[in-house]
Each structure stands twice: as C-alpha cells, then as structure tokens.
C-alpha cells in the first residue's frame, strides 16, 4: 500500500481502531500494539482497499488481529475500561457518574456482546456492516445486540452484575 | 443509550505522545522497508483459472480440479451432504438459518405442545436457508498457483491455516517469501452461531503425519479456547482425539466439544454451542479429509 495513504489512514482512524482493540483486549498496551501491527502489515503488503471502505476494512483487520491475540493466550484478559475508569481525568474528562456507570456496565459484557455494542452504538455501523466486519451472520449480530441490551437493562434496573 | 455510550467512549483514545511515537515508527518502517517482490508471476492461463474461481465463489458453486487420487475419499465425505456437487470439486457447504430472532413466542394460555407447534410453524415460514458450495483448499504441486490462491481466499475473508508451519496465518502476502505454502494449507470457514444454526465444512489437504498432528493440535487449541470461554477445564490432546481405523485402512480421528446450555435459551431447539470433527486420513496417499460441524447456541 502507498506510504502516504497508510499515514493518512493512520491519522484518520488510529483512535477508532484503538478503541475497538481496547474493547477486545482490555489492555491499552496490547491495543496499541495491535494497531501498530495492523499498520505495519499494511506497509509491508500490497493490499488495496476499496475507496470508501477503508474504515470497515481496518476495523476488520483489528478484529481479526485481536481474536488472534486472544486465541494465542498471550495476554490475560483484563476488564476493559478499568484503567480508564480508575484513571479518571486522564481518560474520561468531565464524566459524570452515569458515564462511568455505563462504561462499567459495558465492560462487564462478554466479549462478543461488547464488540457488537461498540460497533453499533459507538461506530454507528448497521447490523449488516457489523456482520461483514466480524464475519458472522446478520441474525447473529441481532442476537448479540438483543442479548447485550437485555443484560444492560437488568444491570441498570437492578444493579446486578452480569455473571456470565 | 447511544449518546451516553458514545460520549463516554469518545474520551478513550491513545495518548498524543504514543500516537506520535507510533506514527514515527511507521515512517521509519516505510523508509527502511523494501516490499518483498513477488518471485513468481501468473501465466495468462492461470490468471484465467483464478478469474473463473472468483466468479464461481461469487456465483456459489465453485469447481476446482483436484488430482483424481483423492476422489475416492472425497466422494465418501461428499455423500454426507445431500447435495449434488461435481465429482472433481473440493467443497464445503454452509447452511445458515436466519430470521429466527423475529419469531414471536406465544404468551396466551397454551399447552407446551401447542406453543412448540406455533414456533415451528413460524420457523418454517421465516427460515431462509442460505446454501453455498465453497472451495476450501487443496495441495497443489505448483507453489505459485497455491500462493495466488491463498491471496484470493484471504481477499474473500477466509482464514488460512498453514500445515507446514502448523499455524494460522494472516495477510498471506507477508509470508510469500517464506514459502509458507510449500506444504499446502487449508481454510477454516466462517463460524456460524445463530440459534440452532450451524456450519458444515470439509477441508481436503495433503499432509504427512507430523503435519496432520499439527493440524489436530491446532484444533485442540481452538477447542480449548472455546472451553476457556465457557469456564470449562481444558482438555489434553489424547482426551480430545479418538483414533480409529476404518474398513478401508484409513485412520479416522474424531473429536467434539459441546458448551453448556445457553443461558438465554428459549426453546429446546436452541442448542448449546458445539464443534465436532471427523478426519479421515489415508496414510498411503497422505490425503486428509476433515469434516467440521460448528455452531449452535444463542449468540
């Protein structure tokens, strides 16, 4: 891939890629490493990304890379956002209690549900687009979103923590 | 919820210092990197072959020629699928049931039997069976063709597994110079996890016994990953794989895993997540046929 194009993609999407990786891995350092690895792969390969599909392609690469990291057992999974919640002003500026509570609730979701929620509510992807990114059926995405919302609803209604 | 989540998550980002440092590292990499040149190019005839393959995958019904020596085994596995496929094709067939999340669970006073009957009728009405025949992989004596094929499959979103290295690989172009494909590869097709849905795939490949062991070991890792995800104890190689010999002298390995019942199970038909394998290996021809059933569960 052309060097300038890679740097342009980095400037535009590095943070979005980092957030998705962070959702998967729960570790800032691992998430940063994955983002860097993905861009190194882009530099070293002849991959051509369809115009207009850059972000989707990059997030797909991040999702694949994160799954590989998790499968390798190289890292011990840590609940995502914990450091962000604890760090307070470093990562969450001017947050109110509701925001922190939301992060905590999402952090407790199982990985599959958490990623679906992130892509849908933060990135704004449609169910079909999420299915493409994750390589699963649209019905599976719907199911994950439904389950996630059920769990979050219970969390906020009863304050119970998901134990799954 | 969307606004709240978005506002909160917006504040999580890489530090400016780290981003700057990473950008500099990328620039350095660009300055020093020499992209590995492809050592081989396709002839026009092979290009035509790949074009046909691409068209075939898109049209669902791909045919690839394979050496006739493996046809005997492949035919046996093919018989498991109630579907006509060309004799010279290596195939995998995916079934997906979609739309079941839209069904309505009756809430009026009915017997269990009547409820299930209504659900079944809805399922019959809304199910869309997507059926496709997908080329999985093959062992080709022609490394150049094999490499180009790997690139093609990666572009289709497939995950490739290299038998020579005994590992899953990504971004095949990076590995071209290392001859990762000299021993062949296989493809793990998409995992289906719809409620009651599943994927069946067949991978056909050539491997010596050590390579086959690598493959089995890799699948053991995959199952243990699933087991960890469901709070189950990991299993050892011997605990997973059962080895047998069939009437034709083929070595048959079988292994399976079933997850706990889904916590949000609605119906009896919402099965637990599962993975099953049946691998038939002919030591004489070194051809392995692997049937994988994968799926189930809710979410």
How many Cβ atoms are within 10 Å of B233's Cβ, its own excluded? 8
pLDDT for residue B172: 52
Strand segments, DSSP code E, in B83-174 are 92-98, 128-134, 159-162, 167-169
In a domain, A99, yes or no: no
What is the distance in angstroms between the Cα of A126 and the nearest Cα belonging to chain B?
Answer: 13
How many domains does one find in chain A? Answer: 2
* CA A83 vs CA A87, A103, A123: distances in Å: 6, 11, 22
Q: Which residues of B touch A47 (CB under 8 A)?
A: 171, 173
Residue A79 has pLDDT above 70, yes or no: no
Query: What average pLDDT score do residues B215-234 get?
Result: 83
Q: pLDDT band for position B26 (50/70/90)?
A: confident
In a domain, A51, yes or no: yes
Task: Clarify whether residues A72 and A121 are in a common domain.
Answer: no
Q: Please say which residue of A78, A99, A118 terminates a domain.
A: A78
d(CA A101, CA A93): 14
What is the distance in angstroms between the Cα of B261 and the nearest Cα belonging to chain A?
Answer: 12
In a domain, A120, yes or no: yes
SS3 of chain A: CCHHHHHHHHHHHHHHHHHHHHHHHCCHHHHHHHHHHHHHHHHHCCCCCCCCCHHHHHHHHHHHHHHHHHHHCCCCCCCCCHHHHHHHHHCCCCCCHHHHHHHHHHHCCCHHHHHHHHHHHHCCCCHHHHHHHHCCCHHHHHHHHHHHHHHHHHHHHHCCCCCC
In a domain, A122, yes or no: yes
Rg (C-alpha) for chain B, rounded Å, is: 23
Task: Clarify whether residues A19 and A64 are in a common domain.
Answer: yes
Most confident of A58-62, B127-131, B160-164, B180-184: A58-62
User: What DSSP state is assigned to residue B259?
Assistant: P
Task: Clarify whether residues A67 and A115 are in a common domain.
Answer: no
**Interhelix angle A97-107/B2-10, nearest 10 degrees:** 90
Q: Please say which residue of A78, A101, A124 terminates a domain.
A: A78
pLDDT for residue A109: 83
Structure token digits, residue A92: 């969450």
Task: Identify from A136, A139, A145, A156 which residue to disrupt to test chain B contact, counting B C-beta atoms within 10 A and taking the largest count.
Answer: A139
Residue B162 has pLDDT above 60, yes or no: no
Starting at the earlier edge strand, list the strands of the sheet with B251-258.
B128-134, B92-98, B198-206, B287-295, B274-282, B251-258, B242-245
pLDDT for residue B170: 56
By residue range, what is the domain housing residue A135?
Answer: 109-164
What does the pLDDT look like over B85-138, one tens digit per residue? 333 333 333 444 455 555 666 666 666 666 667 666 666 555 443 333 233 333
In a domain, A100, yes or no: no
Q: Which of B30, B101, B173 sits opposite A142 (nearest CB)?
A: B101
Q: Which residue has the higher pLDDT, B288 or B105?
A: B288
Q: What angle do CA B298, B96, B265 make, to 5 degrees?
A: 15
Q: Which residues of A touch B99 (CB under 8 A)?
A: 139
Task: Clarify whether residues A64 and A15 are in a common domain.
Answer: yes
Residue A145 φ/ψ, nearest 5 degrees: -65, -40
Residue B55 has pLDDT above 50, yes or no: no
Structure token digits, residue A19: 């957030």
Residue A135 has pLDDT above 70, yes or no: yes
In a domain, A19, yes or no: yes
Nearest Cα to Cα of residue A12 among A49, A63, A67: A49
d(CA B195, CA B268): 11
* CA B53 vs CA A62, B47, B60: distances in Å: 28, 10, 10
Task: Clarify whether residues A121 and A64 are in a common domain.
Answer: no
User: What DSSP state is assigned to residue B125?
Assistant: H
What is the distance in angstroms between the Cα of B214 and the nearest Cα belonging to chain A?
Answer: 15
Query: What average pLDDT score do residues B234-259 get?
Result: 90
Query: What average pLDDT score do residues B144-151 get?
Result: 56
Residue A91 has pLDDT above 50, yes or no: no
Starting at the earlier edge strand, list the strands of the sheet with B167-169.
B167-169, B159-162, B185-188
Task: Clarify whether residues A30 and A73 are in a common domain.
Answer: yes
pLDDT for residue B81: 28
| Helix (H) or strand (E) segment spanning residue B185 | strand B185-188
**3-state SS, residue B77:** helix
Task: Clarify whether residues A16 and A69 are in a common domain.
Answer: yes
Query: What average pLDDT score do residues A114-141 get?
Result: 79
Task: Clarify whether residues A64 and A129 are in a common domain.
Answer: no
Q: Write the CATH number for A42.
A: 1.10.1740
What does the pLDDT look like over A12-21, one tens digit per residue? 999 889 988 8
Structure token digits, residue A114: 């958490």
Task: Clarify whether residues A74 and A118 are in a common domain.
Answer: no
What does the pLDDT look like over B4-17, one tens digit per residue? 666 666 667 788 88
d(CA A39, CA A34): 9
In a domain, A54, yes or no: yes
pLDDT for residue A93: 41
CB contact under 8 A, A118 and B11: no
Q: Which residue has the higher pLDDT, B238 or A65?
A: B238
Out of A20-29, B159-168, B188-197, B198-207, least confident range? B188-197
Residue of chain B minimizing CA distance to A9:
B23
Query: What average pLDDT score do residues A79-89 get?
Result: 50
| Residue whose entry in the numeric block shows the structure tokens 């009547």 | B114
Note the pTM of the prediction, 2 decimals: 0.41
Q: Which residue has the higher pLDDT, B40 or A94?
A: A94
Residue B160 has pLDDT above 70, yes or no: no
In a domain, A115, yes or no: yes
pLDDT for residue A111: 81
Buried b / exposed e across A95-111, counting CB within 10 Å, b at 16+? beeebbbbbebbbbbeb
Residue B242 has pLDDT above 90, yes or no: yes
Q: pLDDT band for position B237 (50/70/90)?
A: very high
d(CA B94, CA B270): 19
Q: Are A151 and A113 in contact (CB under 8 A)?
A: yes
What does the pLDDT look like over B248-269, one tens digit per residue? 788 999 999 988 765 555 554 4
The domains of chain B are located at: 62-101+131-295
Query: What average pLDDT score do residues B190-209 get?
Result: 55
CB contact under 8 A, A137 and B98: yes
d(CA B103, CA B121): 10
Residue A117 has pLDDT above 50, yes or no: yes
Residue B10 φ/ψ, nearest 5 degrees: -55, -30
Residue A108 has pLDDT above 50, yes or no: yes
Residue B223 φ/ψ, nearest 5 degrees: -70, -40
Mean pLDDT of chain A: 75
Residue B159 φ/ψ, nearest 5 degrees: -100, 130
Tally A–B CB contacts below 8 A.
144
Task: Clarify whether residues A40 and A113 are in a common domain.
Answer: no
């Amino acid at each position: 891939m052309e060097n300038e194009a890679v740097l342009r993609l980095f400037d535009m999407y590095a943070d979005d890629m980092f957030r998705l990786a962070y959702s998967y891995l729960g570790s800032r350092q691992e998430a940063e490493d994955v983002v860097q690895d993905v861009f190194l792969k882009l530099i070293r390969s002849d991959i051509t990304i369809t115009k207009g599909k850059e972000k989707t392609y990059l997030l797909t690469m991040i999702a694949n890379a994160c799954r590989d990291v998790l499968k390798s057992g190289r890292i011990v999974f840590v609940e995502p956002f914990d450091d962000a919640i604890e760090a307070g002003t470093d990562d969450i500026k001017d947050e109110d209690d509701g925001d922190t509570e939301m992060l905590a609730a999402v952090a407790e979701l199982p990985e599959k549900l958490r990623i679906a929620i992130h892509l849908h509510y933060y990135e704004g992807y449609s169910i079909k687009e999420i299915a493409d990114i994750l390589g699963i059926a649209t019905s599976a995405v719907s199911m994950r979103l439904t389950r996630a919302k059920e769990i979050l609803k219970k969390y906020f209604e009863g304050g119970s923590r998901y134990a799954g | 919820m969307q606004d709240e989540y978005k506002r909160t998550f917006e504040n999580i980002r890489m530090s400016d210092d780290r981003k700057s440092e990473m950008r500099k590292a990328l620039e350095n990499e660009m300055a020093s990197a020499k992209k590995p040149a492809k050592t081989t190019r396709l002839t026009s005839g092979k290009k035509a072959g790949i074009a046909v393959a691409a068209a075939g995958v898109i049209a669902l019904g791909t045919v690839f020629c394979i050496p006739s020596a493996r046809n005997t085994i492949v035919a046996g596995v093919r018989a498991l699928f109630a579907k006509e496929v060309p004799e010279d094709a290596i195939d995998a067939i995916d079934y997906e049931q979609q739309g079941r999340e839209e069904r309505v669970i009756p809430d009026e006073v009915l017997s269990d039997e009547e409820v299930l009957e209504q659900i079944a009728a809805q399922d019959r009405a809304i199910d869309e069976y997507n059926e496709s025949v997908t080329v999985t992989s093959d062992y080709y004596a022609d490394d150049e063709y094999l490499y180009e094929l790997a690139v093609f499959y990666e572009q289709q979103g497939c995950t490739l597994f290299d038998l020579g290295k005994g590992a899953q690989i990504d971004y095949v172009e990076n590995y071209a110079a290392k001859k990762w494909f000299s021993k062949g590869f296989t493809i793990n097709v998409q995992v289906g996890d719809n409620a009651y849905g599943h994927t069946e795939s067949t991978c056909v490949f050539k491997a010596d016994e050590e390579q086959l062991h690598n493959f089995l070991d890799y699948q053991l890792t995959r199952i243990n990953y699933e087991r960890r995800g469901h709070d189950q104890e990991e299993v050892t190689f011997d605990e997973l794989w059962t080895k047998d010999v069939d009437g034709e002298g083929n070595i048959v390995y079988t292994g399976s895993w079933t997850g706990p019942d889904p916590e949000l199970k609605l119906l009896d038909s919402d099965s637990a997540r599962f993975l099953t394998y049946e691998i038939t290996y002919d030591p004489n021809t070194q051809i392995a046929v692997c049937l994988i059933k994968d799926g189930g569960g809710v979410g």
